[in-house]
Amino acid sequence: MYFLGISLFLAAIVILVILIVVHIGFRAPRRVEQGNPADFGLEYEEVWIQVAKGRRLFAWWLPVADTAPSLLVLHGWGGNAELMLPLAVFLHRAGINILLLDARNHGRSDCAGHSSLPRFAEDAGAGVGWIKSRQREGCTRVALLGHSVGAGAVLFEASRRNDISAVISVSAFAHPAWMMHRYLDRFRVPGLLQSWILRYVEWVIGYRYEEIAPMNTACRVGCPVLLVHGSADETVPVTDAWAIRNHCRGHKPELVLIEGGRHDSVELVEQHGDRLVAFLEKEGFIQGMSG
């Protein structure tokens, strides 16, 4: 009986250590903005947006006109609004209001427990609500652009609503489980333990991976979707982009491949910004902006 008690105690300690390691390992690093849109010669507003439990999101609002279409831009894991500025500036110059958002636990936004794709999506939804509160009556064009986890988040959010005009996904992974297996494989975590960790993370975030996987949510989005992916992405291989596209039956997302682009090559994506603008023009998002 004594040895059984010791064994159970040691097992509990091991499980506790594993849980602590999982939470630390998947904690998003915080990088606070050092610059601002003025560095690019742009006028902007600093805004704070309310989310659940009194938490606030920090954002930059780059206005063009009340009647112009608006685009919410969401960074990836460990990123912030500043890292998305090069791409946002290009789209802003095309005549689009831009809301650059910091997700919870990122940039200058408030802390709020764990970060996850669903929470990124909730933050994107709060940003859309804020944009709509600023829009003039009759102007309902709102598009979403996200990078990495932010890309998966905007696809998930758009799949749950019918008031989004277009979605641009940059460097999205196809499935959270694939992404986590790739991460855990780097540390040679045994397969059985990986499966346990994946189930535990599902429990923490409150969603099954199948429900939030971009390869599934992209197919449920009711508006046009553009996938943008770097051919040299080592964090999320380009095969994930093809998996998202090919998984959708009927109307498939468009795909733009950035030759030599890596996972965080936002500046390189910006060099191909004309292709993003062409997509938005083709889908009727950028129209009637003179008023």
Residues 100-112: pLDDT tens digits?
Answer: 999 999 999 999 8
Give Dmax over CA atoms of the chain in angstroms.
81
**What does DSSP assign to residue 190?**
-
Q: How does residue 14 score in pLDDT terms, banded at 50, 70 and 90? A: very low
Which amino acid, one-letter code, is at 78? G
pLDDT the model gives residue 269 = 87
Structure tokens at 52: 């659940």
In tens, the pLDDT along 203-247 reads 999 999 999 999 999 999 999 999 999 999 999 999 999 999 999
DSSP structure string for 4-53: HHHHHHHHHHHHHHHHHHHHHHTPPPP---S--GGGGT---EEEEEE-GG
Structure tokens at 169: 């996904």
Spatial contact of 218 and 249, defined as CB atoms under 8 Å apart: no
Contacts of 60 (CB under 8 A, 6+ apart): 36, 37, 44, 45, 46, 47, 81, 98, 99, 100
Weakest mean pLDDT among 63-67, 124-128, 150-154, 174-178? 63-67
Query: Which residue intervals of the chain are DSSP H helices?
Result: 2-25, 85-93, 117-134, 149-159, 176-185, 191-205, 209-212, 214-220, 238-247, 266-271, 273-282
What are the residue ranges spanned by the domains of the chain?
43-175+213-282
Q: What is the pTM of this model?
A: 0.89
Q: If DSSP codes are grouped into helix, strand and coil, which group holds residue 154?
A: helix
Q: Is the pLDDT reported for residue 4 higher than 50?
A: no
Spatial contact of 143 and 202, defined as CB atoms under 8 Å apart: no
Q: Is the pLDDT reported for residue 154 higher than 70?
A: yes
Spatial contact of 75 and 83, defined as CB atoms under 8 Å apart: yes
Q: Which residue has the higher pLDDT, 287 or 266?
A: 266
Architecture of domain 43-175+213-282: 3-Layer(aba) Sandwich (3.40)
pLDDT the model gives residue 241 = 97
**How many Cβ atoms sit within 10 Å of the Cβ of residue 196?**
15
